[in-house]
Amino acid sequence: MEIDKLLEEFLFHCQFEKNLNPKTLSAYTIDIEQFKSFKDIMSMNINDVNKDILKEYIQHLYTKDLKPKSIKRKLATLKAFFTYLEFEEIILVSPFRKMRVSIKENKTLPKTIDLQNIRKLFKYIYKIKTNFQDIERYSYKALVRDIAVLELLFATGLRVSEVSNIKYNDINLSTGNLKVLGKGGKERTIQICEAEVKTSLKEYVNLFNDEIYKNKWFFINRLGNKYSEYSISNMIKKYQQAANVQQHLTPHMFRHSFATMLLEEGVDIRYIQGMLGHSSISTTQIYTQINMKQQRKILSTKHPRRNLQFMV
């Protein structure tokens, strides 16, 4: 069968049978389009694509100066494609079954936001809100919304995609319960406990209630559409620069800061795993490597050396 047709059927399978989320589908589509453009793939019969051709493709990917993580994802897409073909009995055996591919990623520690920069950022936006002259203007409503988003990011450690995709019925401001749809369609509930965070969310709802009610999304933009991940990232960058915060800030850094600060306060890593929505504890354990503050505190106050006197 023609490879082009099989690839189309695979994407259809991913979208309508496996019900993968739009982000994953988009990544799969990009990866498949790149594979189609390699060499003479499109003129081949699917049974002619063997491990030698796939090895050539791996070498080709390395010439593109891609990060190891990107190469691993592209190969995972192809592996899923050939597994699908094998399951559908279009091919006898996936060529990946006869391959041992090991791509090592450089482990980078999560970047967190300095606590003084978090204080500086929030102090700035709340000062603007306090000094705002005309609260009937949309710019004031937008500011209240942005404060609610920033408070939620810092208070819950949600991914920016999870914040953007909150729906009107997902959040209960009376109980503080927030239903979150995470990666892989996994649902979890996180509790909003801080009074200030609840207050910011309630104020936002009071200003946007009619628009939110008409729209399925909780956080919306001026046109009543979903407040996108891109817009949230740009919003953070705008306030970072306006507040003269020298550290470059991203939405995901709020998530890293949330996890690290809880760890520094002695919270069990398994609780943090649940709040972050990690399926594996190994993903959460990376935060233990940057928990220097707690380590310093323990060694300076608990180590027995402090009670030993050797000098005469």
CA of residue 32 relative to chain centroid, distance: 23
pLDDT at 238: 97
pLDDT at 101: 81
Whether 113 and 247 have beta carbons less than 8 Å apart is answered as yes
pLDDT at 65: 85
Give the chain's domains with CATH numbers: 3-98 (1.10.150.130), 115-297 (1.10.443.10)
Q: At what angle do helices 138-156 and 229-242 cross, to 10 degrees?
A: 100
Residue 209 main-chain phi, psi, to 5 deg: -55, -50
Q: Is 60 a catalytic residue?
A: no
**Rounded to whole angstroms, how far apart are CA atoms 168 and 172?**
9
Q: List all residues 6 or more positions away from 178 whose beta carbon is below 8 Å from its beta carbon.
A: 156, 166, 170, 171, 172, 189, 190, 191, 192
Tell me the whole-structure pTM to 2 decimals: 0.75
CA of residue 258 relative to chain centroid, distance: 13
Q: Is 124 a catalytic residue?
A: no
Whether 205 and 173 have beta carbons less than 8 Å apart is answered as yes
pLDDT at 276: 94
pLDDT at 214: 87
Active-site residue (options: 28, 74, 145, 159): 159
Q: Is 287 a catalytic residue?
A: yes
Q: Is 183 a catalytic residue?
A: yes
pLDDT in tens, 151-173: 999 999 999 999 999 999 999 99
pLDDT at 230: 95
Active-site residue (options: 179, 183, 198, 237): 183
At residue 178, the 3 state secondary structure works out as strand
At residue 181, the 3 state secondary structure works out as strand
Residue 213 main-chain phi, psi, to 5 deg: -60, -35
Q: Could you give the angle at the alpha carbon of 308 between the alpha carbons of 307 and 312, nearest 5°?
A: 130
| Secondary structure of 5-54 as H, E, C letters | HHHHHHHHHHHHHCCCCHHHHHHHHHHHHHHHCCCCHHHCEHHHCCHHHH
pLDDT at 290: 67
Nearest to 277 by CA among 193, 191, 187: 187
pLDDT in tens, 241-296: 999 999 999 999 999 999 999 988 888 999 999 999 998 888 888 887 766 666 66
Half-sphere exposure of 168 (CA within 13 A, CB side): 15
Tell me, what DSSP letter sits at residue 113? -
Active-site residue (options: 74, 145, 226, 255): 255
Q: List all residues 6 or more positions away from 116 whose beta carbon is below 8 Å from its beta carbon.
A: none
Nearest to 165 by CA among 216, 224, 98: 216
**Rounded to whole angstroms, how far apart are CA atoms 149 and 312?**
60
Residues with pLDDT less than 50, the chain: none
Q: Is 278 a catalytic residue?
A: yes
pLDDT at 311: 62
Q: 189 has which bridge partners?
A: 179
